[in-house]
Structure 1
Amino acid sequence: MTAADAEQPPVTAADAQLPPVTAADAEQPPVTAADAQLPPVTAADAEQPPVAAPGAQLAEALAAIRPADEQAMAAARDHQARLTKPAGSLGALEELSVRLAGLAGVCPPPLPTPATVAVFAGDHGVHAQGVTPWPQEVTAQMVANFVAGGAVVNTFARQAGADVMVVDVGVALPLHGGATLLDANVRRGTADLSVGPALTRDEALAAVEVGVGVARALVASGAKCLLTGDMGIANTTPAAALIAVFTGSDPAAATGRGTGIDDAMLAHKVDVVRRALALHSPDPADPLGVLAAVGGLEHAALTGFVLGAAAERVPVIVDGVIAASAALAAAAFAPGAVAAMVAGHRSAEPGASVALAHLGLEPLLDLGMRLGEGSGAALALPVVQAAVRVLHEVATFDAAGVSEK
């Protein structure tokens, strides 16, 4: 960052109404206040309804989440049975298409394109406990890399034809990204969850609502599929704590090597999670309280993002262990939200498999990946799209004049 950068206006939550950032945007000059071309504020604006009270977006999302439509699912199964292929020959793709029909309430469901990866970034006070060898400033540096289009998730998203949106919900260092970064920073990193609550309830709620708002804005701008992404040095530690709470699993089963730590650091990391859970005794029936006690700002925002997708009846592809921990929190808020979730891949982080099993989700890919960022979700996107396209485009036996057995 240069001195000139500090003079630029920060991106605010209102910018969530803008279309998501594409790879081509990285080559464009930064958007200035003049570019917005918004009309000036007038006295009449004072008559507009007040901004929604804290919690209103979450409450609206929860009220909008409905169970899967059984009639649409039955129609999808019937249609699959009449397509020119042996019944069941497409394996998991068939059930996926049925689930997405149930989510949309229609068969065939809308094609899940265009799609956007939302990468939520935040820092963690538990970093001070030595749970990772990576310095905390890498979070901000990687955000800059995402904005520039140079990270793995950018590459995979370009391959899949998806856009990438980067959201600062809790990065410790100041950032400047112009139009390519949404500034929704709730606080500059969490507190150390092993010595006190990571967040206040109000902060956790604010982060959840950032995620809900981003999901709603992306769908309003035309997105038909949302993908979870994350960035935060030390964020696998709160993820492990969340998974242990919501699944009732032992912290050792929920805690992995993250960025590749050795056995000694892994044992220490498990101990940190145990101490945090003993300190807080979080109640899984109070998901907001759990997020506040042992979560992260990106975990809370991803929770809201998943809930927002479910409320809009749009599929959300869950990436790795961070997203899986947030998916558990979303399901604790609203069990019906699981209908919108698609497990993109099986992360090498053990907690991810624990979380997905608890949610009843079978991952589409199993490549031994543990990067995060939304990388696995981006790789899975074409598979999700193919599953739906089958219902739209494959001919039936009658239409094709093909004899059945």
Structure 2
Amino acid sequence: MNNMRQKLQDVIDNKTKPQGALGLLEDIALQVGLIQNTTSPSVISPTIVVFAGDHGIAAKGLVNPFPQAVTAQMVLNFVAGGAAINVFCKQHNLQLFVVDAGVNFDFDPRLPIVHNKIAKGTANYLEQAAMTVEQCKEAIAFGKLMVERIRHNNCNCIGFGEMGIGNTSAAALIMSAITGQSIELCAGRGTGTNDAQLQTKIETLKDVFALHQLQTLKEDPIQLLATVGGFEIAMMVGAMTAAAENDMIIVVDGFIATSALLIAQQLHPDMLRYCIFAHQSNEQAHATMLHFLGAKPLLHLGMRLGEGTGAALAMPLIQSAVNFLNQMASFESASVSGAKQAERADVELIINN
């Protein structure tokens, strides 16, 4: 690994540019080369998978300003091609799969989505665990299977999105349990919560945290996920784990996807090696979550939509990083004169044609 790292760094540094001039693109090129163990990496059939699921807590309206029914309505919007993720995937030629992980709705089986409903939403974690351990493991297993199927279609770069009213609350609980940060810091506005609604959300989540003694589940990721997670988050955990096991590039989206990563990292300790962080969400706790992971996000666009939209926007940047590594001239191939002097002086490089 160290030998390959040095080889990649030498290739990057010998391109016709001052060292470090391409910023994070150079870091990405190095990372992708290390994932694939080659100085000529590739991005093949980049794909977004959106997992959708409902949360029992959302039926009470304590943590969400929009009704639970919006989850199913948005899945139908994905099918119709009308969501932001559809637009970005079409623009950047990305494959898109939408998975019914556990939406509280009976979809027509003929719809072009992946039908794998674990249940019609999770249970209300104010009263009991969100799901059984068996359901949690089933969701993780399907997420793994989904990625295996996609990988066999020659995909090596994958990002995950989600849809589920109430899932910022599940993510906040997971974050608080794993990072030790307070619920006040971890709970944000989600889909447009006002000040009064946010305070109700915080108080509700504090009750949930105390009820299930979540601080004791930090080292038990499956039980934590089963207690307060969602089926869409559990499937993302399995999908991320399988992607890492198969040496795929994992493009991490926003707050919900990063909460799934907090769980997945405990199941696959080498997980972060495969992860490129698409953006810093405008959800207040995401910056803290990224800092906890030591992650450098590519984009800061003030987004908080979910759906994998940040991952879809980042994938062309990853492609650009790979392309410069493979296609940009080196000092030798371009017959650049005075290369070392130009680097040291940080002046314009002169190419002799």
Normalising by the smaller structure, the TM-score range is over 0.9
Cα deviation for residue 353 of structure 1 reads 1.6
Match of 2:128 among 184, 196, 204: 196
- The reply to whether residue 277 of structure 1 matches residue 209 of structure 2 is yes
Inter-partner Cα distance in structure 1 for 2:156 and 2:15: 25
What TM-score results when the alignment is normalised by the length of structure 1?
A: 0.81
Is the CA contact 1:247–1:354 (under 8 Å) kept in the aligned structure 2?
A: no
Cα deviation for residue 364 of structure 1 reads 0.4
- The reply to whether residue 311 of structure 1 matches residue 242 of structure 2 is no
Q: Secondary structure at the match of 1:268?
A: helix
Cα deviation for residue 70 of structure 1 reads 3.3
Where in structure 1 are there 5+ consecutive unaligned residues?
1-68
Query: In the alignment, what sits opposite 1:124?
Result: 55
Match of 2:321 among 372, 387, 390: 387
Cα deviation for residue 316 of structure 1 reads 1.3
Is the CA contact 1:113–1:385 (under 8 Å) kept in the aligned structure 2?
A: no
Query: In the alignment, what sits opposite 2:305?
Result: 371
Q: What is the correspondence of 1:246-395 to structure 2 with a 5 Å cutoff? A: 246-282=178-214, 283-395=217-329
How many residue pairs get matched? 336
Cα deviation for residue 175 of structure 1 reads 1.0
Q: Secondary structure at the match of 2:332?
A: helix
Query: In the alignment, what sits opposite 2:100?
Result: 168
Distance 1:201 1:78, change over 3 A: same
Q: Which amino acid aligns with 1:332?
A: Q
Inter-partner Cα distance in structure 1 for 2:313 and 2:181: 29
Inter-partner Cα distance in structure 2 for 1:293 and 1:125: 12
Inter-partner Cα distance in structure 2 for 1:314 and 1:82: 27
Query: In the alignment, what sits opposite 2:155?
Result: 223
Match of 1:154 among 86, 90, 94: 86
Inter-partner Cα distance in structure 2 for 1:104 and 1:273: 41
Inter-partner Cα distance in structure 1 for 2:246 and 2:316: 21
Q: Which amino acid aligns with 1:302?
A: M
Inter-partner Cα distance in structure 2 for 1:176 and 1:71: 53
Inter-partner Cα distance in structure 1 for 2:97 and 2:306: 15
Q: What is the correspondence of 1:52-63 to structure 2 with a 5 Å cutoff? A: none
Query: In the alignment, what sits opposite 1:13?
Result: none
Cα deviation for residue 390 of structure 1 reads 1.2
Inter-partner Cα distance in structure 2 for 1:272 and 1:103: 42
Cα deviation for residue 177 of structure 1 reads 5.3
Q: Which amino acid aligns with 1:378?
A: A
Distance 1:270 1:105, change over 3 A: same
Query: In the alignment, what sits opposite 1:39?
Result: none
Query: In the alignment, what sits opposite 2:12?
Result: 80
- The reply to whether residue 91 of structure 1 matches residue 23 of structure 2 is yes
Is the CA contact 1:125–1:193 (under 8 Å) kept in the aligned structure 2?
A: yes
Is the CA contact 2:61–2:67 (under 8 Å) kept in the aligned structure 1?
A: no
Cα deviation for residue 129 of structure 1 reads 4.5
**Cα deviation 1:276-302 (Å, max 9, x = unaligned):** 111112312111011001111111111
Q: Secondary structure at the match of 1:98?
A: helix
What TM-score results when the alignment is normalised by the length of structure 2?
A: 0.93
Q: Which amino acid aligns with 1:329?
A: I
Q: Secondary structure at the match of 2:52?
A: strand
Match of 1:399 among 314, 333, 336: 333
Q: Secondary structure at the match of 1:350?
A: coil
Cα deviation for residue 123 of structure 1 reads 0.1
Cα deviation for residue 108 of structure 1 reads 2.3
Cα deviation for residue 305 of structure 1 reads 1.1
**Identical counterparts, % of pairs:** 38
Is the CA contact 2:79–2:111 (under 8 Å) kept in the aligned structure 1?
A: no
Inter-partner Cα distance in structure 1 for 2:50 and 2:33: 27
Distance 1:264 1:179, change over 3 A: closer
Q: Which amino acid aligns with 1:219?
A: R
Query: In the alignment, what sits opposite 2:44?
Result: 113
Distance 1:177 1:347, change over 3 A: farther
Inter-partner Cα distance in structure 2 for 1:141 and 1:73: 47
Further displaced range: 387-396 or 363-372? 387-396
Cα deviation for residue 179 of structure 1 reads 5.8
Q: Secondary structure at the match of 2:300?
A: coil
Query: In the alignment, what sits opposite 1:180?
Result: 112
Inter-partner Cα distance in structure 1 for 2:62 and 2:289: 25
**Cα deviation 1:141-171 (Å, max 9, x = unaligned):** 1111111211100001111110110001110
Is the CA contact 2:48–2:95 (under 8 Å) kept in the aligned structure 1?
A: yes
Further displaced range: 243-252 or 366-375? 243-252
